[in-house]
Amino acid sequence: MPRTDWTPHRRDDGELLGWIHPDGEAWVPVDILGRTVSGPTEWLDAEAALEERGISWLADPWVLDGEGGGPLRVRIVEVTADEDGAPGRIVVKVDDFGDVSRPPSQQHVLSWPAPDRLRAPSPTDPDPRVL
């Protein structure tokens, strides 16, 4: 668990969706990447926010800024949160577009929680096939 006052929130099948932590009299949901899902709210609303987000979005393409002179299209390979004083990490690989005949893609190890330079693609990003 990243912080002692964070409570893990799991799906019915036991898969971790994130954590909920106190903020004054309210509660804040935090996703698996360590990012706040919503502002302070009621406990049940915090749970609902995590359940609505789920974890399937982790499989989407991502963009990593600040590597190789431009944005890189990447896929998340591993997410390990801080635990018992050990720092967590996020491992991403350069997107190979599912081409299993290519050599393994370059990986980048990022700190947890996810830095801002790991982000969802935007319409202004270059065509990922030429990155």
| Domain boundaries along the sequence of the chain | 7-55, 60-122
Q: Is the pLDDT of residue 131 over 60?
A: no
The encoded tokens of residue 13 equal 């099948």
- Please count the CA atoms within 13 angstroms of the CA of 113 that sit on its side-chain side: 15
pLDDT of residue 101: 78
**CA–CA separation, 15 and 76 (whole Å):** 17
> What tens digit of pLDDT does each residue of 11-64 get?
999 999 999 999 999 999 999 999 999 999 999 999 999 999 999 999 999 999
The encoded tokens of residue 125 equal 């990003």
The encoded tokens of residue 40 equal 């302070």
